[in-house]
């Protein structure tokens, strides 16, 4: 600090002296004469003394010069303002001009000189600070090895500009990328600059990629998937690579570090984030005991991560997979959750003694039931396992929750339960119906949440495609017209928590899934993201529908499409709710057939399920139009 002051004080002496001299010159139209010059010389020690005292009081000199900010300029303005107040207060006895006798020498300072001097001082000191910052950055850049690959930031909103500011702290470079401008997706032609960087339209970007060698586009992680998908397809022909970069908020929150990553299939299907009712979710979870069945699965483990952010008193992670529980335990042990007791339980929902032990020992207040068999073709061949796990297992868990007065019970269901054509979908519909029946008599609030496919879940199409691409293909797709609804695992889990917080007993809540996506388009996108080309590098092979599969899935019955929304992305469904006696009789009949041949078991299941489908569909038209793929 002392060494820095030895350099700064002479510079400030020159700046403030120059400022006062120019103020006198401007006041007297650059014709000072001997009188004006004597006033300047006589007043200089007094003016410098006051300004140096004010700078010391405001700690002006402790602010770093190499990293000048708007806050520093505010301090400079405040210092100059305080100086003006001191001068005017000191000379308040005089009207037109100020004069005082110091060291037997009279001097005069007109009020206009005081104001002009304050303005000039502020401008000159600010210019000095900004010059220091500019010179420092230029010197630093000249001594660094500049990356050779030019990149543009996608967007001109606060998110994109925030990313650019972070990169400017690294001299506008990150890893091997050097940022040279922005892309404004909403304009055909641009002439603006942001921080000295050119803003291009998409059309101009295409031209610049050829002329100026733009090689990369950095897209904020919050950008909608449809926008990223369109951008990716436009950039393929230009040989420009598209990457994702985290936002300032995500880095500050600790979810990501400042780094560029390649696109993932999740990025192409990402939707604008839902506005969650954090207060409602917090009230339903904070300080309570939460049980998550299937807690080691794709949805279950993400539910556990989301639940932990709301600081429950106790989280019970219940799953029949020993390896899955081990993986989750290892992940959570690497983090700190001081307000939450974590309990790991390796057991099946079909084990009544294990379930009863958990409820008696821990008394959960909130249950998320994610444990289920979900693989359609596999369950089609194994109706015994599907019925026992998805129906009987759910019944045992619901009954235990009822006996122990659980506050809320949330069932994770599927769009395959709407007019089911598969054994898996039929068993999930029966699970929904059992919850609706129990909701009529129980003090526990039983809520069903229904949604479509989630990306990257175990056994889903995305990991399958990824493995096939790694092996060199071909990628197998059922049919070129097959469409599915998709949602990322984190978004689905967040909306499940929201639904569990706002739903009422007996509700079937349906998550808004956006537009359906063609599976063949998903396969092509994954091939492209792998740096390969369809059909030159990897081909797609169509295999035909398997037993139980649909060409398209339905989230609603016809009459539910205009139903009430309980949240911007959650729709309140409806449907026939059987009595407890009716469904228990039907489940007993079904249970008695479980020792039969698979075909007979499935036939018994369909006899029960078809009547519920007819009742649920009775208020609708009975026909459903195939949704158009995105």
Give the Cβ contact number of residue 234 at 10 Å.
15
Catalytic-labelled residue, pool 416, 428, 433, 524: 416
190: closest CA among 449, 356, 445, 198?
198
46-85 burial, b at 16+ Cβ within 10 Å, e below that, comes to: bbeeebbebbeeeebeebebeebeeebbebbbebbebbbe
Q: At what angle do helices 423-438 and 393-403 cross, to 10 degrees?
A: 20
Pairing status of strand 565-567 against strand 570-572: antiparallel
CB 152 within 8 A of CB 214: yes
Q: What are the backbone dihedrals phi and psi of residue 334, each rounded to the nearest 5 degrees, phi first?
A: -80, -5
Q: What CA–CA distance (Å, rounded) separates 376 from 336?
A: 38
DSSP 369: E
User: Please, which residues bridge with residue 343 across strands?
Assistant: 316
Measured CA to CA, the distance from residue 435 to residue 430 in angstroms comes to 9
Residues 6+ apart with CB under 8 A from 197: 164, 179, 180, 181, 182
Cα separation of 173 and 168, whole Å?
Answer: 7
Helix (H) or strand (E) holding 218: strand 214-220
How far is residue 450's CA from residue 410's CA, in Å, rounded to a whole number?
A: 10
Q: Which residues pair with 317 in a beta bridge?
A: 292, 344
Burial 511-549 (b: 16+ CB within 10 A, else e): bbbbebbbbbbbbbbbbbbeeeebeeebebeeeeeeebb
Q: What angle do CA 549, 554, 558 make, to 5 degrees?
A: 140
Scan for tokens 């500049």, then name that residue: 146
Exposed/middle/buried for residue 172 (C-beta within 10 Å: 0-12, 13-18, 19+): buried
* DSSP 3-state of 520: helix
The Cα 547–Cα 146 span in angstroms is 58
- Rounded distance between C-alpha atoms, residue 199 and residue 29, angstroms: 44
Distance CA 323, CA 337 (A): 22
Catalytic status, residue 416: yes
Structure-token pair, residue 301: 């483990």
Q: Which residues are catalytic?
A: 416
């Amino acid at each position: 600090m002392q060494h820095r002051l030895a350099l700064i004080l002479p510079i400030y002496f020159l700046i403030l002296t120059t400022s006062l001299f120019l103020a006198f010159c401007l006041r007297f139209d650059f014709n000072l004469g001997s009188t004006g010059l004597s006033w300047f010389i006589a007043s200089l020690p007094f003016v410098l003394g006051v300004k140096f005292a004010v700078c010391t009081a405001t700690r002006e000199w402790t602010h770093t010069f190499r990293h000048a900010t708007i806050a520093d300029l505010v301090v400079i303005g405040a210092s100059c303002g305080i100086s003006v107040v001191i001068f005017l207060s000191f000379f308040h006895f005089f009207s037109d001009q100020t004069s005082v006798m110091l060291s037997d020498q009279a001097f005069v300072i007109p009020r206009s000189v005081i104001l002009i001097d304050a303005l000039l001082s502020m401008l000159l000191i600010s210019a000095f600070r900004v010059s220091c910052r500019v010179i420092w950055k230029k010197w630093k850049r000249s001594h660094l090895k500049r990356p050779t690959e030019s990149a543009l930031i996608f967007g001109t909103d606060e998110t994109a500009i925030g990313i650019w500011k972070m990169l400017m702290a690294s001299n506008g470079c990150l890893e091997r990328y050097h940022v040279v401008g922005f892309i404004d997706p909403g304009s055909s032609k641009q002439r603006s600059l942001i921080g000295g960087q050119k803003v291009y339209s998409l059309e101009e970007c295409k031209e610049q990629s050829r002329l100026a060698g733009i090689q990369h586009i950095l897209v904020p992680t919050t950008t909608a998937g449809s926008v990223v998908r369109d951008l990716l397809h436009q950039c393929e022909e230009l040989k420009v690579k598209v990457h994702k970069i985290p936002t300032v908020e995500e880095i500050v929150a600790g979810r990501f570090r400042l780094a560029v990553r390649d696109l993932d299939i999740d990025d192409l299907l990402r939707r604008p984030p839902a506005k969650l009712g954090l207060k409602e979710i917090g009230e339903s979870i904070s300080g309570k005991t939460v049980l998550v069945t299937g807690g080691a699965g794709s949805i279950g483990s993400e539910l556990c991560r989301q639940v932990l952010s709301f600081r429950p008193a106790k989280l019970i992670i219940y799953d029949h997979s020993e390896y899955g529980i081990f993986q989750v335990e290892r992940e959570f042990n690497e983090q700190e959750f001081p307000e939450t007791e974590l309990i790991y339980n390796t057991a099946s929902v079909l084990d009544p003694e294990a379930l009863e032990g958990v409820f008696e020992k821990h008394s959960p207040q909130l249950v998320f039931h994610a444990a289920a068999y979900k693989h359609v073709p596999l369950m089609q061949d194994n109706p015994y396992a599907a019925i026992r796990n998805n129906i009987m297992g759910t019944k045992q868990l619901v009954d235990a929750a009822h006996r122990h007065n659980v506050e809320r019970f949330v069932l994770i269901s599927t769009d395959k339960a709407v007019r089911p054509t598969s054994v898996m979908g039929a068993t999930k519909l029966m699970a929904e119906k059992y919850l609706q029946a129990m909701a009529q008599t129980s003090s526990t609030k039983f809520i069903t949440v229904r949604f479509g496919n989630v990306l990257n879940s175990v056994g889903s199409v995305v990991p399958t495609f990824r493995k096939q691409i790694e092996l060199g293909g071909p990628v197998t797709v059922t049919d070129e017209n097959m469409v599915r609804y998709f949602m990322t695992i984190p978004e689905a889990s967040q909306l499940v928590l929201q639904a569990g917080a706002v739903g009422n007993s007996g509700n079937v809540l349906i998550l808004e899934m956006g537009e359906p996506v063609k599976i063949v388009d998903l396969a092509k996108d994954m091939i492209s993201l792998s740096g390969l080309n369809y059909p030159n590098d990897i081909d797609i092979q169509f295999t035909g529908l398997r037993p139980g599969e649909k060409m398209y899935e339905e989230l609603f019955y016809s009459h539910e499409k205009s139903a009430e929304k309980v949240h911007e992305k959650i729709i309140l469904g409806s449907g026939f709710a059987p009595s407890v006696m009716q469904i228990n009789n039907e489940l007993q009949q079904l249970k008695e057939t479980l020792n039969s041949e698979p075909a007979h078991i499935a036939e018994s299941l369909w006899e029960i399920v078809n009547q519920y489908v007819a009742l649920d569909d009775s208020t609708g038209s009975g026909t459903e139009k195939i949704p158009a793929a995105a």
